[in-house]
């Protein structure tokens, strides 16, 4: 894991606001000790969850999107470190692995223009490099018997999450994606809009359910492709659940769960599905934060839920005075996941 920058105990102390009479996650979360073998420590640690950040937005840029998702990891780790350690959720269940070193790749693409075909191809090639690193790190975490919680980056990283988990499990996995977009676009070179279609095409993704698709932002060709693959790819839309009220939110969660439940599955959360959350494709219409939290709790309870990925949040695109709020929201989602997984024990 050459491209991993480990999170140290000193890093943890730096982001934790210590307060007399309180115990924060930052005082309890584990890190890889200096000089220790990362893989061996992962295998022997008693932490259940491994927190891993991907500070990049190269896939977003390659998908005609606004950069900014690279900033989510820093905001999130500061927030999680200051969550209260108590009987509801315990910091010592988390090992903070660190983050992917994407600085060189981010520098490489900073002046590329996605409107120019050749430069867009270059962006896609760099995304492939990120894919390789992410899939290897996720493979290592899952193979060690841990549950990855992946923060940040574009939704291109779903590919690495799915591939790494599938390789560790020895078979293709399923995925449930809470998203305004399918990210099942054509195989035109890697970007944030086709992580699932590439994982499907390459045999790492078995069944895929998109929850809360926005009808106005899904192309006819993608809808046609999904319809052809009905045995393995299914959707519902935000519009039919919350606008036309043709379907019930809870019943739709149950329907989606019945579709993916028989195999290991990953939980993918795209924050551009929530109104007002700074992201590349920020929206003013969508599910509420409470509905998202209920969704995570519902799908995380099953033992087959094998990772959580929260992506596309972009604090740098929001109000500078409240840039911490994206990280705070992600902190809520992470603890919702942890609590639900603990209920399965």
Residue 178 neighbours by CB under 8 Å, 6+ apart? 211, 212, 267, 268, 269, 270, 273, 287, 292, 295
For residue range 53-86, list pLDDT tens digits in order: 999 999 999 999 999 999 999 999 999 999 999 9
Domains in the chain, please, with CATH?
4-343 (3.40.800.10)
pLDDT at 191 over 90: yes
Q: How far is Cα 345 from Cα 343, in angstroms, rounded to an integer?
A: 6
Distance of CA 118 to the CA centre of its chain: 29
Task: Say whether pTM exceeds 0.85.
Answer: yes
Is the pLDDT assigned to residue 88 strictly greater than 90?
yes
Rounded to whole angstroms, how far apart are CA atoms 62 and 106?
Answer: 12
Query: What pLDDT shows up at residue 344?
Result: 64
Q: What is the mean pLDDT of the chain?
A: 96
pLDDT beyond 90 at 326: yes
Segment 193-222, tens digit of pLDDT: 999 999 999 999 999 999 999 999 999 999
Dihedral sign for Cα atoms in the order 311, 150, 174, 258: negative
Cα–Cα–Cα angle for 198, 272, 51, nearest 5°?
Answer: 70
């Amino acid at each position: 894991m050459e491209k991993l920058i480990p999170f140290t105990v000193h890093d943890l102390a730096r982001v934790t606001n210590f307060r007399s009479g309180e115990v924060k996650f930052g005082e309890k979360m584990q890190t890889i000790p200096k000089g220790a073998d990362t893989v061996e420590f992962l295998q022997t640690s008693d932490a259940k969850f491994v927190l891993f950040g991907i500070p990049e937005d190269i896939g977003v840029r390659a998908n005609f999107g606004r950069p900014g998702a690279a900033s989510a990891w820093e905001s999130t780790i500061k927030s999680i470190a200051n969550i209260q350690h108590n009987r509801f959720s315990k910091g010592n269940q988390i090992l903070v692995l660190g983050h992917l070193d994407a600085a060189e790749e981010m520098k490489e693409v900073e002046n590329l223009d996605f409107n120019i075909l050749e430069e867009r191809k270059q962006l896609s090639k760099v995304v492939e490099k990120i894919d390789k690193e992410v899939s290897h790190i996720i493979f290592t975490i899952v193979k060690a018997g841990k549950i990855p919680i992946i923060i940040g980056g574009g939704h291109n990283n779903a590919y690495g999450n799915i591939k790494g988990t599938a390789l560790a499990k020895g078979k293709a996995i399923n995925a449930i994606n809470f998203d305004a977009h399918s990210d099942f676009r054509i195989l035109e070179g890697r970007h944030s809009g086709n992580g699932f279609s590439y994982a499907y095409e390459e045999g790492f993704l078995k069944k895929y359910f998109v929850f809360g698709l926005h009808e106005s932002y899904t192309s006819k060709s993608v809808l046609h492709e999904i319809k052809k693959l009905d045995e393995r790819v299914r959707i519902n839309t935000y519009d039919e659940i919350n606008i036309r009220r043709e379907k019930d939110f809870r019943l739709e969660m149950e329907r989606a769960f019945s579709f993916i439940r028989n195999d290991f599955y990953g939980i993918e959360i795209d924050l551009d599905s929530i109104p007002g959350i700074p992201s590349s494709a920020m929206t003013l219409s969508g599910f509420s934060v409470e509905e998202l939290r209920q969704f995570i709790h519902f799908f995380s309870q099953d033992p087959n839920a094998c990772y959580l990925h929260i992506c596309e949040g972009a604090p740098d695109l929001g109000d500078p005075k409240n840039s911490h709020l994206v990280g705070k929201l992600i902190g809520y989602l992470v603890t919702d996941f942890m609590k639900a997984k603990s209920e399965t024990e």
